[in-house]
Structure 1
Amino acid sequence: MAWSVVVSVLVMTVLSLLRVNVIVAILAAGITGGLMAGLTLVESLELLIGGMGGQANTALSYVLLGAFAVSIAYSGITSVLVRNLVNVMKGKRIVLLLSIAFISSLSQFAIPVHIAFIPILIPPMLKLFDKMRIDRRGVATALTFGLKAPYMAIPLGFGFLFQKTIRDAMSENGAEVALGEVTQAMLLPTMGMVVGLLIAVFISYRKPKDARQIESEASVDLMNAAEEKDTRFTKEHLFTIVAIVGALAVQIVTQQLVLSALAGLILMFVFRIVPFNRGDKVVAEGVSMMGVIAFIMLVASGYATVLKDTGAVDVLVENTSDILGDNKAVIAFVLLLIGLIITMGIGSSFSTVPILAALYVPICTAVGFSPLATAALIGTAGALGDAGSPASDSTLGPTSGLNADGRHNHIWDTVVPTFLHYNIPLFIFGWITAIIL
């Protein structure tokens, strides 16, 4: 059973890299994990389906945000945005990528909307990226940096929740550490993320990329309608901004993406920015844009349920603790590797932390790791894989915006670039941190 987690994650990874549909890859991985844990085929599938409700809220919010994004594009404000950005950012690819990383970072602590901004901000900018010959893989890495690095290092918004989760999980397993110490422990690993971003922006995706000769089958009438509108700023644009601010306010007050997206969509109809007789079209386009991403989240939730409810993760944790020696460098390396595997499967750094703490705290205490080093290992291992998992919102979010015109592959254009640019330096910096603290 201990190997069921490793094998199932490998199945998901290999199938995804072979361009098998992500949903099929996750289903195959979930069934594989269930079979190796001793379940029958039917039992594995039933457990996976039963666990799909865990991400129902997120999936519904994705679809509603897609409809909201289409309605914003219909207003024509996106044409004004692109026109002005072309003038300001002409020839400044690096500046634009860094700006996107900065805006994405704000979504984690300053205006904690997480991925909600992506399907609103990014689709209207796709033509701008093409005009500036920006490699969309660079945009994906910039977005993922902002979705991940801030919560690792800044104890505000989602960062407060993440670091508090680390502190509480360590306390439950017998290691006391202050919240400020968790922040201190995560600073150096976060620098690994910074290094990955700089490599992506200044080296990997610095050169202009030729626009792909693929006509989008997903480009929709409502999106194209914006192109036909006057690009002057009008009262429709003003009301659109009011609707966006209203949606943001609802998100901050209620902490519910579904209510936020629904509020924004309703305001777009109330202000008559989108005619009522186009309502069905707007929702249909939103589902077309975000439906696949939403369903991936549902299936991924079921897969995580299979891994956890079969006890496979617990067995892997117990077996790992039995075979490790007393060499700190080796132990830190193995623990981070286990964290990478588990997070790749579950797809959530927040959900992985309590699982990892149960393993890490006893081992780290026994071999003499300091509480700071233990916190760094748990936090880094929890974050590892989040940027490289096909089932993570840190990768699904960027894909949801960049693939609005059907020209961005989730695995090869988001998952693989973010894995290479962030998980490798994060692993190295986290390993060094655990040794020196």
Structure 2
Amino acid sequence: MGLFFAIAYQLCVHVMVRDAVRLDGEACSNGLTCLASAVVYLARLFCLFLAPLANDVCITRLVIVIETTCGICTLIQEEPLWVAEEMKVHDHLNRYATYVGKALFVFGMLNALRMTEPVRMQRTAWDTLFVFLLFMLVSMVALVIRSTQRCGVTGFLAFIWVLPVLMMILYLARRQSLRQSVQASIGRLLESRVATHAAAGVAGLVGNCSAKRAMTEASQRFRSVLAADITPDALRDNAPDPQFANFANPCRLGECDAFVSHSWHDEADAKWEALQAWRASFVAQNGREPRIWLDKYCVDQNNIDDDLRCLPIFLSGCKRMVVLCGPTYLTRLWCIVELFAFVHMDRRIDEIEFVPVLRDDPEAEDDDRQVIDDTFGGFDAAECGCFSDEDKQRMLSIICAAFGDLNSFNEVLQCIFAKAQWREKHVKCEHSLPRSSSSTSEDDQP
């Protein structure tokens, strides 16, 4: 994607240099060339600003550096405002709007350049572009008036066609969802669906490092734990506790039976029952205990950020995904991100299993089931909660980069919900399964 827009940028510059037409009203008779030059200039800006994906720091910074450099160069070429000249009102308006617009553009780009988060950088850059284009709109209106007075209808037609193009880009600059849709559509034209989506998922979730390095790190850090070694205490809260890591062992990618996804906001006892129900089914089908990836046991508590960066590869290293789906699961953004990563590893629907997490009370069970059904039917990723708003915006931007907009992502997940096999049995852990010495009965819990 970045390469495409870099090439587009070079073509735009080439056309601008070749035409060498200044939009100053002097070439009133060549309206088509003036229009083409203006459109190419605006297209260059828009294409460059569309180039970075939501999480791409390098391309974002490169675009900002390019535009800041161009802005400084054009600002230097402008005649200073303090140089007094006898002009008509519209000439003064054109001159001041152009100079102030370019000055604000440079200032805004420099402000964006000092930021470190790509989402904030891009938001600031788009806001700066919007302000700049507003001033250019004022300048262009003044230019239309000037050229009309000098050349009549010919002068009017030379520039009036630029205004709709300018207003269209102004509109796009303020519509983030529309920009993301355009970006995703262009991406789908350039690359296959699988490659685009996988790249978006891995690049966004693994972090700013090469795929080779990420794979190497994930291979070294991947661990699994026997389901029989899981205790109810492990599902009660997400507070770091290194003692659980003692039960996890290094594991090769592809040899783990299941990646277990759950929400820390769902009731712990209900999650425990759901996990045991799935475990019983697995043992009945395979005649052995499953090895699973569960965050409490398999995330290195001393290097949490490093392990989270490898999360998509951990997910791809498991044979299936088991979702302990309770009333809050679909409201937690990080749970949705795990589903997003699963989809973008191009995994099959039959490799994901939803196990309902329901409280052990008939009335509460019905309430929980109704809440889950309602969240399925009205799922909206934008409504998901996250402890850090910055993380939420970053993750949603990554999802939008892959799907074009959140509505498309919502529809894909709703389709998965509809097709995935539900285990509609609330088993109360009555299976005669072997328990390891580390397992703790419910009566032993405080």
TM-score range, shorter chain: under 0.3
After TM superposition, the score normalised by the length of structure 2 is 0.19
- The higher-RCO structure (CA 8 Å, 6+ apart) is 1
In our comparison, the structure showing a higher alpha carbon Rg is: 2
Higher strand residue share: 2
After TM superposition, the score normalised by the length of structure 1 is 0.19
Higher helix residue share: 1
